[in-house]
Chain A
Amino acid sequence: GDSVTQTEGQVALSEEDFLTIHCNYSASGYPALFWYVQYPGEGPQFLFRASRDKEKGSSRGFEATYNKEATSFHLQKASVQESDSAVYYCALSNMGYKLTFGTGTSLLVDP
């Protein structure tokens, strides 16, 4: 079946550091890829999506590029802020009706 792998369980950075959270997927066909963010005490929120190879999704300074050859969709941000501290989930949708999520990466940014 479909799966999403996030290799970093936790990431600790200082403000203005560069962020990369790795996401790799395994799926038949041509899935749509998503990033969601979850702040403490809230439900996950949609960050952005990409639907085809080499498409870049972006929002709030975060970005990721769909790489079909590498089966990756890594999340990056050039300069993180304390307010970016949250859990980030990579997800894929292969049949259009449900999402398969990774296990999440907890980002902690020190001021």
Chain B
Amino acid sequence: EAAVTQSPRNKVTVTGGNVTLSCRQTNSHNYMYWYRQDTGHGLRLIHYSYGAGNLQIGDVPDGYKATRTTQEDFFLLLELASPSQTSLYFCASRGGSYAEQFFGPGTRLTVL
């Protein structure tokens, strides 16, 4: 079974702070995704990637950068965190077109 891990699991920062969320998948999947989950909005796609060095813009990219350093590792960067970015963040991976996505356990980020 595909394994997706995220770190940290919880993070508290202040407005204007610099935050990096990490995601690693060990199933050799090509595609990786970052979502945020908010009540009333469900899951919204921030950025995604189909391989090392590749980055695609999702549906809610403002205020976020991302980098895919290897096939396994995908990072989400908040360089000037704002309270509106307080949310539950999920990473996911997928092997091929229309295949299921495997989600990590999530990172809860609070921006004070």
A residues bordering B, Cβ < 8 Å? 32, 34, 41-46, 49, 51, 89, 93, 96-104
Contacts and interface: CB of A to CB of B under 8 A. Distances in A.
Contact of B98 (A44, A51, A100): A51
Contacts of A34: 100
Nearest to A106: B39
A1 to B, nearest CB: 8
Contacts of A43: 4, 90, 92, 103-106
Interface of B: 4, 31, 33, 40-45, 48, 50, 58, 90, 92, 97-98, 100-106
A46 B97 contact: no
A3 to B, nearest CB: 11
Contact of A97 (B41, B50, B103): B50
A49 B98 contact: yes
A103 B40 contact: yes
